[in-house]
């Protein structure tokens, strides 16, 4: 079975109301081109590095404008709409970096909280500590859609291949990687990581990204893309500004890739032993 998928590239600002309107315009564009599955980037609702500023616009899931708008859009357009993620206020004072998947009836099918926190120190003084603000998720989920088995990740999760492998072994045919990659890390690793996850698991990868210079001063890499199980980039966007990236997903290509290179079946358990280097003139124990 094949279906048309879209990755929405955005440059979200600090105002969730404006971001919701921008999202709606781009999602309608994708649906008008025949996309039945549409994915938005990480932090669709607000890209805001100022913590008090972010908390000022936060709402819980029931009151979030992105969640409300997405449910209405999915029903209006009759599509599967995947909000890559948006910030959701939690009862314990923390925030969830949470993705949502809505069905053509507007009902919520699945939610996913980003598991791996982006706690890094990069060159030129760029430093991030997501764990200081966000509560990490602890559960991976696969959703069975009429046309594909869909797996979930968010941004930094792409650097943890065990998450992708576990979902591939469980039957995922399409993995989703909505992101807000920094320009610095994106230039170095974005495409190669996405293609590696596709190749090593024999699955499609759909990655909607934030792109450009945001209101809060952050720079994100963009280059939203859709990749097939052989590692071929089917469609991609540039590094700045909005875009609607669309490709036909032929799910039969997953089986074809697995038939050619059945590495999921060929994997074996193994032990690991660390051998000490013997001292000069000695013999290893």
Q: List residues with catalytic annotation.
A: 42, 114, 155
C-beta of residue 160 within 8 angstroms of C-beta of residue 23: no
For residue 276, report the phi and psi dihedrals to the nearest 5 degrees.
-75, 145
- Cβ neighbours around 147 below 10 Å, total: 18
Q: How does 66-103 read in b/e, with b if 16+ C-beta sit within 10 Å?
A: bbebbbebbbebebbbbbbbbbbbeeeeebbbbbbbbb
E-strand stretches of 40-196: 80-89, 95-102, 108-113, 119-121, 127-129, 142-144, 149-152, 174-176
* Alpha carbon distances (Å) from 207 to 94, 100, 267, 270: 26, 15, 27, 33
C-beta of residue 182 within 8 angstroms of C-beta of residue 221: yes
**DSSP conformational letter for 49:** -
């Amino acid at each position: 079975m094949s279906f048309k998928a879209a990755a929405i590239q955005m440059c979200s600002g600090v105002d969730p109301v404006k971001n919701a309107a921008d999202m709606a315009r781009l999602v309608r564009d994708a649906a008008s081109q025949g996309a039945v599955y549409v994915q938005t980037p990480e932090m669709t609702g607000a890209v805001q590095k100022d913590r008090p500023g972010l908390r000022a616009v936060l709402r819980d899931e029931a009151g979030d404008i992105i969640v409300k708008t997405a449910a209405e859009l999915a029903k209006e357009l009759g599509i599967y709409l995947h909000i890559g993620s948006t910030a959701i206020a939690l009862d314990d004072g923390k925030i969830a970096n949470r993705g949502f998947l809505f069905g053509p009836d507007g009902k919520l099918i699945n939610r996913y909280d980003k598991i791996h926190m982006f706690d890094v120190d990069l060159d030129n003084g760029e430093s991030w500590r997501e764990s200081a603000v966000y509560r990490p998720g602890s559960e991976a989920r696969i959703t069975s859609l009429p046309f594909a088995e869909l797996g979930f990740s968010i941004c930094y999760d792409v650097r943890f291949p065990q998450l992708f492998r576990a979902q591939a072994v469980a039957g995922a045919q399409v993995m989703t990687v909505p992101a807000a990659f920094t320009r610095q890390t994106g230039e170095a690793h974005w495409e190669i990581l996405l293609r590696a996850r596709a190749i090593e698991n024999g699955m499609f990868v759909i990655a909607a990204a934030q792109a450009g210079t945001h209101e809060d001063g952050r720079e994100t890499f963009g280059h939203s893309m859709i990749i097939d199980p052989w590692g071929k980039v089917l469609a991609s966007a540039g590094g700045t500004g909005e875009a609607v990236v669309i490709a036909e997903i032929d799910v039969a290509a997953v089986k074809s890739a697995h038939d050619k290179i059945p590495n999921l079946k060929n994997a074996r358990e193994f032990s690991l032993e660390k051998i000490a280097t013997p001292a000069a003139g000695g013999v290893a124990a």
